[in-house]
Amino acid sequence: MKLHEYQAKEISAAYGIPVQKGTVVDRPEKIDEVALPYPVVLKAQVLVGGRGKAGGIKLAATPDEARTKAAQILGMDIKGEKVRRLLVVEAANIATEYYLAFTIDRAARRLVVIASAAGGIDIEEVARTTPEKIVKRHVDPFMRFHPYQAREIGRALAFEGRQLVEFATIAHNLSRVCIEMDAELAEINPLAVADGKLLAIDAKLIIDDNATYRHDGLPRNEELTELETAAKAEGLSYVELDGDVAIIGNGAGLVMSTLDMIAHFGGRPANFLDVGGGATTENMAQAMRIVLRKPGVRALFINIFGGITRCDDIARAIAAQPPAVPMAVRLTGTNEDEGRKILQDAGIRADVDPEAAAEEAVRLAGAA
Ligand code: GDP
Ligand code: MN
C-alpha cells in the first residue's frame, strides 16, 4: 500500500527525520487558516510520482497567490488520479538535492540502501545514464543498518563534518522506518541541503500489503483510478497500466502470462481485466467496454482458455460489439468450434496459439 507524502512524512518525522512544517488542505479557502510563513509550496497529494513535472507542485509567495494556485491544483488530474488534497509546506531554500532510499533487493533477499548525490530527479534515469553516481549497499538482516555504513555512504556522497553526522542519522532513521513499518520502499527524493541543514523535501513509503495487519492506525488508501473503481463496482478485477495494448483474459495466471507475452514481443499493456471463470456473454461484453474506455488504447488482445468459461459465450460478446481498435483473439478450450464459427461468421479470426496472437496484438498496436 502506498502512502501519501504527508502520511509518509508524519511517520518519518516520528522517527526523527527532519521535514518541513506543513498542513493538509482540501479546499482553496482553507489556505486562509494555514499558519505558515510565506513563501509556501503547494503539493498535490496523489499516489503517483513526478508531481512536479506534471504541474502538481507550485510555489506561492502570498496567501492570494496560494489560494489561486491551490484552486488550480485541486481537482487536477495527475496520471489518472484526481487531486483531492494539498500539502502546504513552508518553502525550503534548497541548495543541493540528494537521493536516499531503502528497498528490498529480492534477488539478494535483503534490504538495499540506495543513495546518490544526483537527487531530485528520476533515479531510474540516473541508474541508466550515470550508474557510477549511485551508491548501493546491502543491509544484513541480523546486524541491520550500521552507523558505520551510514557514515561510509555519507562520505561517498561527499558529505563531511556536521552534515555527515546529519546524513548518517537520517539514513539510520530511514532504515528503522523501512524495517519497523514493514516497508517495501522508504524513499526520500530529494533529501536536500537547505540553509545548511539536511531536510526531507519529499517522502515515499510503500507498506507491504501482507504486513498492514501489524500496524494499527495505518491509513487505508484507495489506489484505484476512476475506471478501476467503475470496474470494481461491477465486480470485475481490472488494473490500469500505461501502455497501449488492452488485455482481457480469464484467470489470474493466464492474464499474468499474457502481460509477459505482450512485453516479450515488445509491446506495452494499457490495462488488463480478468473475466474469471465462467464468464457470461454479458460479463465479456462489459469487460470489453471497460478496457476500451481507457484513452490511448491502440489494440485489444483477448486471450481465453475455455474451461468453465465457454468459448461460444465469449465469441458472442466479441461478435456483437467488435471494437473500434484492431484486435487479436486467442480462443481455445470448451466449445472452441462453436466459438470459432461465431467469430468467423462475423469476419473475425481467432488463434489457438497464444504467442502468435500476442505477437499479432503487438504488431497491430504498433501499426495503429
Ligand atoms: P515529485 O515531483 O512528486 O517527486 O515531488 P517533490 O516533492 O520531490 O518535488 C519536486 C521538486 O520540486 C523537488 O525536487 C524540488 O526541486 C522542488 N521543490 C519541492 N519543494 C520545494 C521547496 O520547499 N523549495 C524549493 N526550492 N523547491 C522545492
Ligand atoms: Mn520527489
Q: For a pLDDT cut of 70, what percent of the chain falls above it?
A: 99
- Cβ burial, residue 103 (10 Å; 0-12/13-18/19+): middle
CA 119 to ligand 1: nearest atom: 14
State the DSSP string of 122-156.
-HHHHHHH-GGGEEEEEEBTTTBS-HHHHHHHHHH
Instruction: Name residues whose C-beta falls within 8 Å of residue 121's C-beta, 6 or more positions apart in sequence.
Output: 97
Q: How far is the CA of 47 from the centre of ligand 2 (A)?
A: 12
- Cβ burial, residue 35 (10 Å; 0-12/13-18/19+): exposed
Amino acid at position 341, single letter? K
Q: How far is the CA of 274 from the centre of ligand 2 (A)?
A: 33
pLDDT of residue 237: 87
pLDDT of residue 306: 95
Q: Which grid cell is 123?
A: 533515479
pLDDT of residue 156: 97
Pick the ligand that lies closest to the CA of residue 50. 1
pLDDT of residue 80: 78
What is the Cα–Cα distance from 171 to 140, expressed in whole angstroms? 15
pLDDT of residue 170: 98
What is the Cα–Cα distance from 230 to 227, expressed in whole angstroms? 5
Give me the average pLDDT of each 10-residue run along the chain (368 residues). Answer: 96 98 96 96 94 96 97 93 95 98 97 95 90 96 93 97 98 98 98 97 95 89 79 85 96 96 98 93 94 96 96 97 96 96 96 97 95
Do the beta carbons of residue 255 and residue 272 sit within 8 Å? yes
Task: Give Cα 27 distance to the centre of its chain.
Answer: 25
Q: Whose CA is nearest to atom 2 of ligand 1?
A: 52
pLDDT digits (tens, 9 = 90+) for 172-210: 999 999 999 999 999 999 999 999 999 999 999 999 989
pLDDT digits (tens, 9 = 90+) for 201-227: 999 999 998 999 999 888 877 667 788
Do the beta carbons of residue 207 and residue 185 sit within 8 Å? no
**88: nearest Cα among 184, 180, 21:** 21
Taking CB atoms and a 6 Å cutoff, what residues make up the pocket around ligand 1? 41, 43, 49-52, 57, 91-92, 94, 97, 120, 189-190, 201-202
Do the beta carbons of residue 177 and residue 19 sit within 8 Å? no
pLDDT of residue 217: 86
Mean of the per-residue pLDDT values for the chain? 95
